[in-house]
Structure 1
Amino acid sequence: MSDDQWNELVESWKDPKKMGISKINKNNRDQVKFHQTTGSRSYPVQCDILGEKYKDKELTALDLFKECHYSSKKKGYTDAVQAAITEMENKASQPTEDGQQSNSSTKAVAEVLAEHTKKPMFLKHVGIQHVHERSSRSEGEAEVA
């Protein structure tokens, strides 16, 4: 890269429109509660790699959530992720409404993510369909009426 190209690039970064977009993107990144730790890998690719790692065990939605949010650098989870995992485990161990068996981990993960995020897409991205869809306010009002 020549000096002129570099100077042109630096000047483009100073553009008020680009600076505004950068600020919006920074604010959006700050709102993410559960940062994935898969690096540049997408969730489906990460799940394929995990499938090779856990050949003898069928991974549940909770296992996938834990694997995709564990930081090997920090040797653990962020506080928000740890709180979500605890909540998911508690929900998964509670009996269902009929009182016979415990809730599935998929349902527990879906419920917790629906409570804590605007658009819970984790289960969709790892190949598991949503068990609990978040309904809009107008749909909920229509059901009550």
Structure 2
Amino acid sequence: MPPGRMDGARTRKDLGGWDYLSRISCKDPFVICPNRQVIHGQFAIDTKNKDVKYACADLMRCNQRQMRYKLKKAYFNGVAADKVRTTSPLSTMTDEQWMQLVNMWSTPKHKDKCVNNKVIRGKVRFQQKTGSRSYIAHMHAVDTMEALVAEPGVEGKESKTPTEAVAQVLSSSKFLHNIGLVPATKKSCNGGDPTRVAELEAELESEKQNSLAVRAQLDALKKVEESEEARAKELEKINDLQKEADETNALLRRLFSLNK
């Protein structure tokens, strides 16, 4: 058995037959019955399907990598070469299999590979199987667009152009963003006909412009009202001063008349 291949965590090449999958522990996400017809778990699928077999093998391959990683972290990393245990820490693994793993981890080639992988992982921006930039989803969209462009025209119509294929496959609300013509922070409505979306955006922009114009008019009227109020207050003060002056003049006339 090659280094690192342990019972219960084999790849598809080591299966030797589909019967092996019926012996997976019940702790795994799903268990295949001996009749190979039903997967008991959250769903039932065809166990003879090629994609199902590949998915199961991929699941075990991932479990194998995780087990190797945990064993290396617990019993090898940070441990002196003369203090690394020579017996298997697991009851499901023989001492010979354990030493094969230890010998593989100790080779300079494997150590350099681990260092390089650590550097590469630090540069990863989008994971291959998660998020909106999933590699699988991205390649599926590319294949769909290429198929649309390659389709011959129907009833005299020309085949789709690359731009039309992209517009059909990608969401219309994300079209400009996906081809890099708008920033990622730009927000737009979800789905819908591209023409209708453009019309709604034009109407929205027109409403914004009208709103700004109305706002400017209201601000101007408010300033006029404020200036008229200020002028009215000034006139009121002038009238009050005029009355006071008239009263003072009348009082002075009386005083002059009494002195005479």
Q: TM-score, normalised by structure 1?
A: 0.31
Tell me which of the two structures has the higher relative contact order, counting C-alpha pairs closer than 8 angstroms and 6 or more residues apart. 1
Which entry has the higher C-alpha Rg, 1 or 2?
A: 2
